[in-house]
Amino acid sequence: MEIWINPACSKCRSALRLLDAEGAAYTVRRYLEDVPSPDEIRAVLDRLGLEPWDITRTQEADAKDLGLKEWPRDADARERWITALAEHPKLIQRPIITAEDGTAVVARTDEAVRDAMGR
């Protein structure tokens, strides 16, 4: 299991505390330092069953600078979104846990973290 985190994020710290309390085996990826490639973002999206706009933090300053709220959310725009996430990793929703069964979850709640541990 791998968890993508921003250490400054309270939801990430909460997820790590829960994983530790449950004795889960996991690897931490500080995705702002170890930025995921477009291929890695595509793979995580496939595992999540989501589209890039579903995991984009649209309230971030970078999102506003890019005008993301105005971008189309369709198949033709998908790669543009993925490129934006790779170039501006702060826009990626967090934490994301890739589970042992090949799926992933956006683990913003204790329930989602527990769900990932059970997979």
Write out the catalytic residue numbers. Answer: 9
Residues 6+ apart with CB under 8 A from 36: 4, 29, 44, 85, 86, 89, 92
Q: Tell me the helix, strand and coil percentages in the chain, rounded to 5.
A: 50, 15, 35
Sequence length of the chain is 119
Residues 6+ apart with CB under 8 A from 102: 47
Question: Does 7 sit behind a cis peptide bond, omega within 30 degrees of 0 on the bond before it?
Answer: no
| d(C-alpha 63, C-alpha 57), whole Å | 7
